Amino acid sequence: MIRLSYTDRYQITRLRTLVTNIFSLAAGLVVISIIFLIAGVNPLFAISEIFQGSFGSMYGFKETITKAIPLILIGAGLTLAFRAKFWNIGAEGQMLMGAIFSTWTGLTFGDALPGFAIIPLMFAAGFLGGALWGIIPAILKIRYAINEVISTLMLNYICAHILTMLIVGPWRGATRFGFPGTDNLPDAAILSVIPGSRIHYITLILALACAAILTLAIYKTRFGYEARVVGENPDAGKYAGINFFKTTLILMAVSGGLAGLAGVGEVAGIHHYLGYPASVSSGYGFTAIIVAWLAKLNPLYTVISGIFFAGILVGGDAIQISLGLPAATVEIVNGTLLIFLIMGDYFLHNKITVSFSRT
């Protein structure tokens, strides 16, 4: 008889993490290949098309990077909140609030100020907007013990409706002929892109810098230590005299603020005006949750997982366009890949032994 038993793995090396991820990815690809076979498409052709469309061609790579920018920013912010076991599901709303604040700043001061003044101002405003939207659930949780999963989730909808109200009502642009949406931002308030691409590099640099700074903050500073203790051992934290209120407020301000920065990037770098929530963000705030987890809650790794996930999303285009499969296939493929990556975690933390015994 074959017996499977598992024991906890205490030491998890980087090499083991890498190998586990590669194996999980491979296992996921095998299952995806079966899906493609059922759909009547040669899996090798399909997977190579997806790769071509995301990393394997200059065009695909530029798009992958463009899409990775908000994912890295939001994902890095989320790692901080998740480390403190603050389940922030509200990054989508925090991002939209950042977009709202920065659009207002851009439209109000964009004509009067030069680019080098207005752009930092917009990023500051975006950070502020996201941070404000982030600390609301923090206050609710610490002061009134309101579950943050519910409050952050609901605040997404509230923010989306505030945005809709603004663009349908008072902010509706004169140049839109009665259609909802603000006027375009003035030229000074628009982020420049790398020529021939849509990569708004200022936000990209900001995203990389934020991921690096946050990594230092989490592992090297007293605040990072406190945030981790709040999450991992709140009792010990209390005895150690950690101010839970202050720590949670700061970490949610940062987490929300980074999502707000992503909102600035999308409005000022891609769309150039504020439209309906669905046209500002294609669910980056939710996708970034997975990005943060794939990065094992290490902000620096969100750079890798953000680019990887952006690649999956962008490569998904190929499924529809080159392979002619319905749009839903994209979601099936992406979902399958993720399930396998997350399942890999189990094997990372548990050692499985197979033993044969006679009965």
Partner 1 sequence: MKKLSLFMLIFSIVLLGFSAGAFGAEDKKIKAGFIYVGPVGDYGFSHAHDLGRKFAEEKLDWLETVYVESVSESDSDRIIDRLIQQQKCDVVFTNSFGFMDSTVKAGERYPDKIFMHCSGFKRSDNVGTYFGDLYQMYYLNGLMAGALTKTNKIGYVAAFPIPELIRHIDAYALGIKAANPEAKVHVKWIYAWYGPDKAREAAESLIAEGCDTLAFTEDTPAVIEVGQSHTEKGKQIYTFSHYSAMQPYGEDSVVSGQFMNWGGMYVKILEDIYSGNWTNEDVWWLAKEGAAILGGNETDPINPKFVDDLKQAMIQTQEFGEISAYDLVMKRYDQMKQGVDVFDPFTGPIHDNKGTLQIKAGERASKEDLLSIMYYVDNVEGTIPQ
Q: Which residues bind partner 1 (CB under 8 A)?
A: 53, 57, 59, 63, 66-67, 164, 168-169, 172, 177-180, 198, 266, 270-273, 275-276, 278-282, 314, 317, 320-322, 324, 326-328
Q: Cβ closer to partner 1: 166 or 348?
A: 166
Task: Report d(CA 197, CA 57) in Å as an integer.
Answer: 13
Query: In degrees to the nearest 10, what's the CA dihedral of 29, 33, 34, 36?
Result: 140
CB of 320 to partner 1, least distance (A): 5
Task: Report d(CA 77, CA 257) in Å as an integer.
Answer: 8
The stretches of the chain forming alpha helices (DSSP H) are 14-38, 43-54, 58-83, 91-109, 115-144, 148-168, 201-220, 222-232, 234-239, 244-265, 277-280, 284-294, 301-321, 327-349
Q: Cβ closer to partner 1: 66 or 247?
A: 66
Other residues' Cβ atoms within 10 Å of the Cβ of residue 180: 16
Contact indicator for 29, 339 with CB cutoff of 8 Å? no
CB of 127 to partner 1, least distance (A): 21
CB of 75 to partner 1, least distance (A): 18
Q: Cβ closer to partner 1: 137 or 311?
A: 311
Q: Cβ closer to partner 1: 67 or 83?
A: 67
Tokens describing residue 19: 């190998």
CB of 59 to partner 1, least distance (A): 5
CB of 91 to partner 1, least distance (A): 15
Q: Cβ closer to partner 1: 5 or 282?
A: 282
